[in-house]
């Protein structure tokens, strides 16, 4: 069964959302990466920021290829870009979802944030958005896969309300865990020196 014409705009929407999200994270993490001091204490933070930035650049156009393959219902293009997208998405994006807080909130990460407090608070703020949108990204990928492959190949059907409820539950768990681990705690900025 071919991809339904009614599902093609949905494929475009979800692929565009993935691309916009990833390009945004590329820009944010790249700027933070460049602003992170070259001090040894910042090495882990710099690596995590750079790895995430470059991964997001790759994923931002590979997910468009995946969506294109689904839209044109091409049996080669969709699986090729699905795999090409999944490798950096899982190997980089997912890895960095854990690597960035491990680097930022470690002893050396705290020392780096003290050395460059604006960068430290920027990493923390961008990470909150990153972690919060991670499952939105995953749901977009699953949606592209569903409309491009699972639905036309196997005839699977899901209610959108169930998917939205699961996303809301997962996001509540993610934000609850971040609050539990103190991710939302403000990093103190050094006060301006008095002259």
Give the separation between CA 149 and CA 78, rounded to whole angstroms: 8
pLDDT at residue 60, rounded to an integer: 97
Contact 123, 104 (CB under 8 A): yes
Helices (DSSP H) in 36-193: which residue ranges?
Answer: 43-71, 77-88, 95-104, 107-115, 117-145, 151-154, 160-180
Q: What's the pLDDT at 189?
A: 57
pLDDT in tens, 53-82: 999 999 999 999 999 999 999 999 999 999
Long-range contacts of 78-82 (CB under 8 A, 24+ apart): 78/148, 78/149, 79/149, 82/145, 82/149
- The pLDDT-based confidence of 124 (bands split at 50, 70, 90) is very high
**Cα–Cα distance between 103 and 46 in angstroms, integer?**
9
pLDDT per residue over 90-112, tens digit each?
A: 999 999 999 999 999 999 999 99
**Tens-place pLDDT, residues 175-192:** 888 887 777 777 665 555
- The answer to whether 69 touches 80, Cβ cutoff 8 Å, is yes
Amino acid 194: pLDDT? 47
Share above pLDDT 90 across residues of the chain, in percent, rounded to a whole number = 76
């Amino acid at each position: 069964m071919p991809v339904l014409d009614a599902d093609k705009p949905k494929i475009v929407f979800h692929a565009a959302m993935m691309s916009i999200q990833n390009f945004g994270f590329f820009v944010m993490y790249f700027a933070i990466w460049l602003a992170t001091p070259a001090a040894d204490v910042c090495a882990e933070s710099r690596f995590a920021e750079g790895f995430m930035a470059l991964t997001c650049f790759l994923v931002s156009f590979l997910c468009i290829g995946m969506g294109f393959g689904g839209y044109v219902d091409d049996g080669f293009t969709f699986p090729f870009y699905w795999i090409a997208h999944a490798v950096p998405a899982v190997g980089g994006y997912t890895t960095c979802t854990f690597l960035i807080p491990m680097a930022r909130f470690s002893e050396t990460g705290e020392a780096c944030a003290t050395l460059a407090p604006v960068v430290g608070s920027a990493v923390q703020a961008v990470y909150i958005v990153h972690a919060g949108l991670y499952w939105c990204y995953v749901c977009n990928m699953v949606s592209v896969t569903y409309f491009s492959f699972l639905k036309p190949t196997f005839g699977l059907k899901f209610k959108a309300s169930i998917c939205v409820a699961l996303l809301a539950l997962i996001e509540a768990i993610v934000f609850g865990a971040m609050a539990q681990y103190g991710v939302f705690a403000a990093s103190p900025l050094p006060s301006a020196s008095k002259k």
